[in-house]
């Protein structure tokens, strides 16, 4: 495990120049989650989605001594029950050699601060049921694991194949 000086840790908004490093970390996350074959995003996809004319997501970066070693990607949601926007945390990732040093907590809190500033009705994300380290962190931070909810997904092919009736 690499050590860093906690007082030199910076959490900042991602910029266009961070996209290559973000994509490398996203690939690391996909491999960790055993979903590497599903990783099809390109640099152009991220440039458009994060920094294009109509960005659909935002990213924060964990930076130390000029190196990027963690990120959080999030976007706005809406709750019909609460009647206001919320934030969905799509990914929270810290490079393996920098884990267990509080960086994930700082990223989680930084997105939470944005949710608070925006008066978000909810701040939500999901976690794989086998990722016990992440589950422990989220519960330690006050997150409620909603066991009764299941994710439903249609991929691009599924969207295109939706029946007309």
The 10s digit of each residue's pLDDT in 21-56 is: 999 999 999 999 999 999 999 999 999 999 999 999
Does the active-site annotation cover 138? yes
| pLDDT at residue 3 tops 90 | no
Place 8 in a pLDDT band, splitting at 50, 70 and 90. Answer: confident
Look at residues 17, 62, 73 and name the one whose alpha carbon lies nearest to residue 43.
Answer: 17
Q: What pLDDT was estimated at residue 65?
A: 86
Tokens for 105, please give them.
């907590």
Provide the pLDDT for residue 89: 98
Q: Which CATH number fits the domain 6-160, given the four candidates 1.25.40.10, 3.40.630.30, 3.10.620.30, 3.40.50.10480? A: 3.40.630.30
Q: Considering 46, 93, 123, 138, which one is annotated as catalytic? A: 138
pLDDT, one tens digit per residue, over 67-92 is: 999 999 999 999 999 999 999 999 99
- For residue 124, give the DSSP letter: E
Q: pLDDT, tens digit, for every residue of 93-135?
A: 999 999 999 999 999 999 999 999 999 999 999 999 999 999 9
Report domain extents, the chain.
6-160
pTM for the full predicted model = 0.92
Instruction: Write out the two tokens for 41.
Output: 């995003």
Alpha-carbon span 96 to 29, nearest angstrom: 10
Q: Is the pLDDT of residue 66 over 90?
A: no
pLDDT at 163 over 70: yes
């Amino acid at each position: 495990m690499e050590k860093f000086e906690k007082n030199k840790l910076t959490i900042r908004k991602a910029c266009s120049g961070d996209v290559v490093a973000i994509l490398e970390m996203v690939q690391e996350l996909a491999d960790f989650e055993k979903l590497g074959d599903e990783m099809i995003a390109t640099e152009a996809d991220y440039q458009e989605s994060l920094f294009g004319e109509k960005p659909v997501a935002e990213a924060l970066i964990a930076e130390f001594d000029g190196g990027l070693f963690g990120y959080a990607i999030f976007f706005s949601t809406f709750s019909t029950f609460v009647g206001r926007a919320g934030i969905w945390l799509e990914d929270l990732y810290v490079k393996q050699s920098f884990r267990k040093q509080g960086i994930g907590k700082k990223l989680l809190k930084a997105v939470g601060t944005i949710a608070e500033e925006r008066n978000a009705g909810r701040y939500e994300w999901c976690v794989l049921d086998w990722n016990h380290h992440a589950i422990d962190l989220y519960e330690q931070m006050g997150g409620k694991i909603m066991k009764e909810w299941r994710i439903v997904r249609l991929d691009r092919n599924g969207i295109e194949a939706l029946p007309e009736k």
